[in-house]
A = this chain, B = another copy of it.
Amino acid sequence: MTDPLSPVFAALADPTRRAILSMLLEDDMAVTDVAEPFQMSLAAISKHLQVLADARLITREKRGRVIWCKLDPDAFRAASVWMQGFGQFEPVDLDAFERFLETEFSAPPED
């Protein structure tokens, strides 16, 4: 079953994991540092990070004996897009937004 959305929302359903994501918004972090503010075992945090990685909300990269965790925006975007389908009955003109996105993505990057 290829349902990428379920693991994303399931991962976001836990306040500890959302807190971790907020921390990672500031900066990439090592596992031990992620665990520090929480009153639970390192193994528990390690599991939470695994859940986040399975949902592709974060990536982990090993450098030396330290594993660095960083946010991965892709899964956020997919979930966000799905949710915005339910924003349709709010004031933003979605057709206009789509036209905006099209020009936004098709335009050659300037520098």
Contact residues of A: prevailing secondary structure = helix
Tell me, yes or no, whether A91 is within 8 Å of chain B by CB. Answer: yes
User: Could you say which interface size class chain A belongs to?
Assistant: 35 or more
Contact with B along A5-40 (1 / 0, CB 8 A): 111011011110010011001000000000000000
Report chain B residues within 8 Å CB of A61: none
Report the minimum CB–CB distance from A1 to chain B (whole Å): 9
Contact with B along A36-59 (1 / 0, CB 8 A): 000000000000000000000000
Q: Judge whether B71 and A76 touch: CB under 8 Å.
A: no
**Cα distance A101–B90 when bound, in Å?**
13
Q: Judge whether A76 and B83 touch: CB under 8 Å.
A: yes
Report chain B residues within 8 Å CB of A25: 85-86, 88
Q: Judge whether B86 and A21 touch: CB under 8 Å.
A: yes
Tell me, yes or no, whether A3 is within 8 Å of chain B by CB. Answer: yes
Enumerate chain A interface residues (CB-CB to B < 8 A).
3, 5-7, 9-10, 12-15, 18, 21-22, 25, 71, 73, 76-77, 79-80, 82-93, 96-97, 100-101, 104-105
